[in-house]
Chains A and B, each alone.
Chain A
Amino acid sequence: MLGLSKKDTTFLLIVIFLTLATPILLQPFPENSALAQFNAGYPDLMQRFAIFGIFAIGFNILFGLTGYLSFGHAAFLGVGSYSVVWMYKLLSYNVLPGLILAVIVSGLFALLIGYISLRRSGIYFSILTLAFAQMSFNLAYSVLTPLTNGETGLQVYTDDPQVLVSEGSPLSPHFFGIVMNESAKIDVGGWQFTFSNGYYFCAIIAILVFYLSMRIFRSPFGVMLRAIKTNQTRMNYTGLNPRPYTLAAFVISGMYAGLAGALLAAMDPLAGAERMQWTASGEVVLMTILGGAGTLMGPVLGAGFIKYFENIFSKINDNILHTWFSALPDGLEDAVVFVLHPFIGKGWHLTLGLLFMLVVIFLPGGLMEGGTRIWNAITGKNRKKKQDADHHPKPSAHVN
């Protein structure tokens, strides 16, 4: 179906089902129960799952397939956001023109940066992309203030032209009348499920771009990208020029990032320069690695994982810890809370950094590899004869 093999179709259907059922699946604990704080089924968080999922899927097309480690993808995220807010300001709150413009602009931007950066590879490529992203960030903060509104961030003011706005059209982002921040709440027993327009809008786009990335992975083009990662020299000797392929991958992943940035602004009509800072680029690298670079599902999992823990960990405080460990003797309880204290609340970045190090050290394939290992251990598949190392060289990251 849809040009996919039977296995992939099943996989895609599962992904579609999971994505659409997310508001229910992520709400496993009844309201008012002690575990309700682990629920993630509220629109704001789910939207971020979908949006950063898109961002990571795009980044994975570049990093996972070609092995080129870009440290400047946040620039495209920012460009996407700015395009959408400008469309709000000039036309109306309908998100469609903004999304289209964002993808086009970030694509062009990626073409420019990619054309220059891809002349070098390895760590030089990382530094070049980093330099471009930092340049964009600094410019957005200073000289480009008329375009970006500097530190305040770009937003819609009442005196903006908004030429397409007519009487009665919604005053917040909408898609032909479907207002993003409206949602339907349904109470079932102790559970409350929120079905938000914004989430479903993001989710449908996420499914579409996931399907697209699936097609890229399975296409001859995808194989070519993998060849670049595995052995660029051999590829050269077979008479193929790798650069157009890497540039195409770079532009595609830039467009994904632009789309993600656009959706961020579609959910919340604001765009700030801090979205372009290199820590934001680092974040998407984290997501992709954590989930498993080069796998289809990994980056999405990584994005969800990081965003979920960002929310949950930063909400836990000492009082909650005390209630958890209240069964322990008093002295021990205080000791446990004292030890855990630096890792929760504001300290969740520490947890993230540690987790990230552990993953890189022990599980370079990310969560996906971990899952596969566990699955193999259960089914006993790992007892299969190992592949001949000489004839199946391990793909190494291109940065060497």
Chain B
Amino acid sequence: MDAIILQILNGLDKGSAYALIALGLTLIFGTLGVVNFAHGALFMLGAFCAVTLQRILSLSFTVEDPTQKDFLGNPLKVDTPYVVNWFGDVTGNAILDWSVPLAILFAIPVMLLVGYVMERGLIKHFYKRPHADQILVTFGLAIVIQEIVKYFYGANPIPTPAPDMFRGSVDFGVMVGFAENQIIYPYWRLVYFLFSAVIIGAVFAFLRFTTFGMVVRAGMADRETVGLLGINIDKRFTIMFGIAAAVAGLAGVMYAPINSPNYHMGMDFLVLSFVVVVVGGMGSLPGAVLAGFLLGILESFASMNEVKSIIPGIDQIIIYLVAIIILLTRPRGLMGRRGVMEE
């Protein structure tokens, strides 16, 4: 029992990332009808927002401290970050420590802007083109973004630690009434799951309970009629693209402490996220979220040693296998709508 709960928990953090990226992909696909292969790159950009903010915050100036000597007898050089200097020791170090959560605030405007520019500058011209062209041009864009990041940040993963407070692990088993040390789970992964639940909830609430969201949903159902009612639906869809980019970016920001960001992390997630979207059903938001968590949990179950000893290598291919089976038996995916992406 405890092993099962542990595997479910393990699946949740990867599942959260899949769900957030797939949610963004589906938003873009459902509103604009564009297959965005650059979405993984947006996730990666988000993670690098965290890296960038961390670097900005740790910018420091060097002073020579004459009271201390290094081993050569020269005055010791002390690096003091500017933030520590400005805000004092306690606040300054706290800001440094909390750079990843702070990066959320930094990433939202950045990613909204990136999304807006991407849609207006490039994607806009591809609405009338076949899906193959959309795939190809966004694939090219993904390569370009990836290479630019590689140029500035290098090819090695950059460790981006979570705040001290969340660095340890929580004994999750005790909280739900198991013996001690049965279910140990890192704090940050729990935070990541809660965070993604909040984001997913926020996106759904935004679409459900605001006028803007209502118009967007109407536009997803019948773009032409909404346009005839005198509503500028294109403008709203552009904003939705920005929101989808921000969702992917936030998923990336918070993922940075779990896996040190490197320039190709987006591509690694992209392939899986596409599989997730297809399993969930093209154009279905709840489907994307459901499939994201489902596949994340399945993946973690498949990597249990007990399972691997029965079917070796299953952990490597489980997601693809599930996708193939689903696509062949339920061509529309788990919750796909009729008439979306059908020939």
Contacts and interface: CB of A to CB of B under 8 A. Distances in A.
Contacts of B179: none
A400 interface: yes
A14 interface: no
A350 B122 CA distance: 17
B140 A356 contact: yes
A143 interface: yes
B113 interface: no
B74 interface: no
Interface stretch (A100-108, A119-127, A257-265): A119-127
B153 interface: no
Contacts of B132: 67, 69, 397-400
B292 to A, nearest CB: 15
Interface string B130-147: 111101110111111011
B151 A397 contact: no
Contacts of B142: 353
Nearest to A233: B343
B317 A139 contact: yes
Most A C-beta atoms less than 10 A away, residue of B136, B151, B343: B136
Interface string B317-343: 100110110011001000000000101
A352 interface: yes
B200 to A, nearest CB: 23
A109 interface: no
Contacts of B136: 285, 289, 356, 360
Given A134-B320, A397-B132, A399-B131, A357 B144 contact: yes
A278 B271 contact: yes
A399 B313 contact: no
B274 interface: yes
A376 to B, nearest CB: 23
B135 A128 contact: no
Interface residues of A, number: 46
A396 interface: yes
A399 B267 CA distance: 22
B313 A139 contact: yes
A130 interface: yes
Given A127-B278, A135-B317, A397-B130, A353 B328 contact: no
Contacts of B232: none
Interface string A45-89: 000000000000000000000010100000000000000000000
B275 interface: yes
Contacts of A400: 130-132, 343
B341 A123 contact: yes
B297 interface: no
A138 B131 contact: no
Nearest to A361: B137
A134 B271 CA distance: 9
A128 B324 contact: yes
A123 B135 contact: yes
B125 interface: yes
A352 B143 contact: yes
B316 A353 contact: no
Contacts of A191: none
B148 interface: yes
B147 A120 contact: no
A127 B279 CA distance: 10
A34 interface: no
Contact of A130 (B151, B271, B317): B271
B157 interface: no
Contacts, number: 123
Most B C-beta atoms less than 10 A away, residue of A141, A357, A396: A357
B313 A143 contact: yes
A99 to B, nearest CB: 29
Given A350-B147, A350-B148, A142 B313 contact: yes
B139 to A, nearest CB: 6
Contacts of A357: 122, 137, 140-141, 144
A311 B133 CA distance: 27
A120 to B, nearest CB: 6
Contact of A138 (B129, B130, B316): B316
Contact of A360 (B137, B146, B278): B137
A153 interface: no
B139 A282 contact: yes
B137 A142 contact: no
A350 B343 CA distance: 35
A70 to B, nearest CB: 11
Contacts of A279: 267
B35 interface: yes
A132 interface: yes
B312 interface: yes
A272 B179 CA distance: 47
A62 to B, nearest CB: 12
Contacts of B275: 127, 130-131
A206 B331 CA distance: 39
A116 interface: yes
Given A69-B132, A360-B133, A353 B331 contact: no
Nearest to B282: A123
A353 B140 contact: yes
A116 B343 contact: no
Interface of A: 67, 69, 116, 119-124, 126-128, 130-132, 134-135, 138-139, 141-144, 232, 278-279, 282, 285, 289, 342, 347, 349-350, 352-354, 356-357, 360-361, 364, 396-400
4 closest pairs, A vs B, by CB?
Answer: A143-B313, A353-B143, A138-B316, A350-B147
Interface of B: 35, 122, 125, 129-133, 135-137, 139-144, 146-148, 151, 267, 271, 274-275, 278, 282, 312-313, 316-317, 320-321, 323-324, 327-328, 331, 341, 343
15 contacts: A69-B135, A121-B343, A123-B135, A123-B282, A124-B278, A124-B327, A127-B327, A285-B136, A350-B151, A353-B140, A356-B143, A360-B133, A364-B129, A399-B135, A400-B132
